[in-house]
Amino acid sequence: MSDKEKEGLDVSEAQIAVHWQEEEYFPPSSQFIAQANMTDSTIYDRMSLDNFPECFKEYADMLDWYQYWHTTLDTSDAPCWKWFVGGKINASYNCVDRHLKKYKNKAALIFVPEPEEEPHLPITYQELYVRVNEMAALLQDFCGLKAGDRVTIHMPMTPELPVTMLACARLGVIHSVVFAGFSGRACGERISDSTSRLLITMDAYYRSGSLLEHKDKADEAVRVADEEGHTVEKVLVWQRYPGKYSSKTPLVEGRDFIVNDLLKQYHGKRIDPVPMPAEAPLFLMYTSGTTGRPKGCQHGTGGYLAYVTATSKYVQDIHPEDVYWCMADIGWITGHSYIVYGPLSLAATSVLFEGVPTYPDAGRAWRIAERLDVNIFHTAPTTIRMLRKAGPDEPQKYNYHFKHMTTVGEPIEPEVWRWYYHVVGKGEAAIVDTWWQTETGGFLCTTVPALQPMKPGSAGPAAPGIHPVIYDDEGNEVPAGSNKAGNICIRNPWPGGFQTIWGDRNRYVSTYYARYCKNPESKDWRDWPYLPGDAAMQAKDGYFRILGRIDDVINVAGHRLGTKELESACLAVPEIAEAAVVPRVDEVKGRVPDIYVSLKPGYSASKEIEKKVENAIAETIGKIAKPKHVFIVPDMPKTRSGKIMRRVLAAVSNNMNVGDVTTLANPEVVEQVRKMVQGDAPVAVQQDGPEDLKRFGQE
């Protein structure tokens, strides 16, 4: 008998009960439908599997190509799919140059600095063109970069970030943007994994009212990359205030250069965009997995750009005359696809906000929306919960009107959805709940807003051209529309999907395809369902409800953190013998990590050790991973084979039923740990918790 069976845990996904009730529909308004980009429901027939893969020509035709492709989908290296093969294209040209004729004087970006006294900074398409060209000239001539080289960008939310990305894209240089909130160490590991020649950073940026030191992280990043045997040639430092160095960290002679100074030599320089093969990598985006180090998801050029352009147009309903504000950070995939590449490819005006939406008060976001007359708004449930908590009545004080709102990153509670709809959207905006991932490049499940009604708590049906299937643990298809939970997969490749994990094709195949692959030798895409790693169920109406991860990945404020990464950070503290990380429910962030550690013999618990663990996490990963609690326990609950029972710890952290623990090697520990976490008095136990917690640690 396996440990799982002994403990009576052999419950298949399909038997796990569902948490939220099915909800009522909300139809989009007739005004919205009257102006929408996509009102033709035959799109689903056009993009049916019968018409696959040629149906995606409709998406690629939204772009300008130097050379048209000859093969829509090449499967010869399955499951590394190649889209639009033979085509030549440049992403920077499509996001900038091609709009000059009609829109050169229109704002491409509007930068909103965090300090409210600093003016908004609109950047027209012409101005963006000039800046991207000059930066590309610098990268080419001063740094010697050429197509295929990698560059790591560790920058905050300022216009210099998209300028740098588009300058790389212009040259065919592969950018790897690391979220500015990540630590220098995390950045250094990504530099060495991608063997980036260059690190591009900024001296400082604003967050919650203070100008944060940022350049110091570059020094740490270069040091860590060095330790791992990779030398960074140059560090380019942008100035948050051009002409003034705002960091306390000195420049390293011969290695560090101020971009704003260097750019003067490239004044007026123009660099022709390099026509790149459609399947050339455009960028890497690192994301956490179950084990080991973060994975560098490699996205291609033509397929990716076609997919984010089309979904920005059909799902987010972006027209050039709209003012579009996505409040994500460009350092995550949402920002790449739906602040930079998708909206700019459509000649939209994309708002870029440096700061925190609740600083200096809960009205900040709505003042920005009012002043810029934003009409498309895009954010995550965690931010919606935060805004609702900080100022439930704030939106009505401001005169803005959204026609459309997006939510992304985690399931949104129907209660929170209703506040978003009635209060933020003032009952006027169509909402799309978009389910997708770093790996998928763009939306997988969502309503097309003029075609289907909204249903709170459901991500909606599959996006056009996406064909999901739910499998049970044995690999049988769960009947469509049966409301039974299982592992959601996508039957077909689509142009936005990532190409591989940078430098680790085996990990790509084993993580995303091995589980339900019908024949590992096959070159037929039908044999390779893609496994996103989420549990889901489909209702009769075809809408999917996403139930959370099936692996031990914690979704904190809409971002994935691998429990193994956190645990190995804890183990770097000399006193720690064992570490286990579990998710705890948090009102605002959705989930936050709770950390359980046991000490090596000879040490006793202390506040200092707790602090050391917290610091180790902040230094290894970043403040985003800050634990809610660090519990120093006398011992970990373990199976007889010595496996730490994370499931039991997760139940304790969340006042859930710990289940039968009598077969553990040390059942008495469970009560000791429970008292430590919940206090001496017994706490009312929830019999039924959220699906991801019930499933956590079971595999």
Q: Which residues contact ligand WT7 (rule: CB under 6 A)? A: 287, 333-334, 408-411, 433-438, 459, 532-534, 546, 549, 555, 558-560
Q: Within 13 Å and on the Cβ side, how many CA atoms surround 524? A: 5
Q: At its nearest, how many Å lie between ligand WT7 and the CB of residue 549?
A: 5
SS3 letters for 107-130? EEEEEECCCCCCCCEEEEHHHHHH
DSSP code per residue over 527-555: G--B--SEEEEE-TTS-EEEEEESSSEEE
Peptide bond into 79 cis (omega under 30): yes
Q: Which is nearer to ligand WT7, 249 or 311 (CB)?
A: 311
Q: At its nearest, how many Å lie between ligand WT7 and the CB of residue 332?
A: 6
Task: Work out the angle at residue 327's Cα, subtended by the Cα atoms of residues 326 and 331, and round it to the nearest 5 degrees.
Answer: 95
DSSP code per residue over 591-635: EEEEEEEEEPTT----HHHHHHHHHHHHHHTBGGG--SEEEE-SS
Q: At its nearest, how many Å lie between ligand WT7 and the CB of residue 501?
A: 13
Q: At its nearest, how many Å lie between ligand WT7 and the CB of residue 444?
A: 9
Structure tokens at 320: 């050039």
Q: At its nearest, how many Å lie between ligand WT7 and the CB of residue 203?
A: 28
Q: At its nearest, how many Å lie between ligand WT7 and the CB of residue 428?
A: 22
Cα distance between residue 694 and residue 253, in whole Å: 54
Q: At its nearest, how many Å lie between ligand WT7 and the CB of residue 407?
A: 6
Cα distance between residue 566 and residue 615, in whole Å: 12
Q: Which is nearer to ligand WT7, 151 or 488 (CB)?
A: 488
Q: At its nearest, how many Å lie between ligand WT7 and the CB of residue 270?
A: 35
Structure tokens at 73: 């989908």
Closest CA to 693 of 10, 2, 218, 17: 17
Structure tokens at 59: 């998406």
Q: Within 13 Å and on the Cβ side, how many CA atoms surround 506? A: 0
Give the count of beta carbons closer than 10 Å to the beta carbon of residue 12: 12
Q: Which is nearer to ligand WT7, 470 or 645 (CB)?
A: 470
Q: Which is nearer to ligand WT7, 25 or 66 (CB)?
A: 25
Q: Which is nearer to ligand WT7, 391 or 689 (CB)?
A: 689
Closest CA to 294 of 338, 330, 332: 332
Q: Which is nearer to ligand WT7, 348 or 432 (CB)?
A: 432
Q: How far are the Cα atoms of 456, 516, 685 from residue 472, in angstroms, in the given order?
A: 25, 10, 29
The 3-state DSSP class for residue 82 equals strand
DSSP code per residue over 166-183: HHHHHHTPEEEE--TTB-
Q: Which is nearer to ligand WT7, 266 or 498 (CB)?
A: 498
Q: Which residues contact 218 (CB under 8 A, 6 or more apart)?
A: 154, 184, 187, 199, 201, 235, 237, 249, 256
Q: Which is nearer to ligand WT7, 201 or 437 (CB)?
A: 437
Q: Which is nearer to ligand WT7, 553 or 595 (CB)?
A: 553
Q: At its nearest, how many Å lie between ligand WT7 and the CB of residue 442?
A: 9
Q: At its nearest, how many Å lie between ligand WT7 and the CB of residue 677?
A: 26
Q: At its nearest, how many Å lie between ligand WT7 and the CB of residue 334?
A: 5
Q: CA-CA-CA-CA torsion for 278, 280, 284, 287, nearest 10 degrees?
A: 70
Q: Which is nearer to ligand WT7, 470 or 576 (CB)?
A: 470
Q: Does residue 285 contact residue 501 with C-beta atoms inside 8 Å? A: no
Cα distance between residue 350 and residue 378, in whole Å: 11
Q: Which is nearer to ligand WT7, 324 or 436 (CB)?
A: 436
Q: Which is nearer to ligand WT7, 180 or 599 (CB)?
A: 180
Q: At its nearest, how many Å lie between ligand WT7 and the CB of residue 551?
A: 9
Q: How far are the Cα atoms of 36, 392, 394 from residue 403, in angstroms, in the given order?
A: 10, 20, 18
Cα distance between residue 393 and residue 372, in whole Å: 21
Q: At its nearest, how many Å lie between ligand WT7 and the CB of residue 454?
A: 13
Q: Which is nearer to ligand WT7, 312 or 438 (CB)?
A: 438
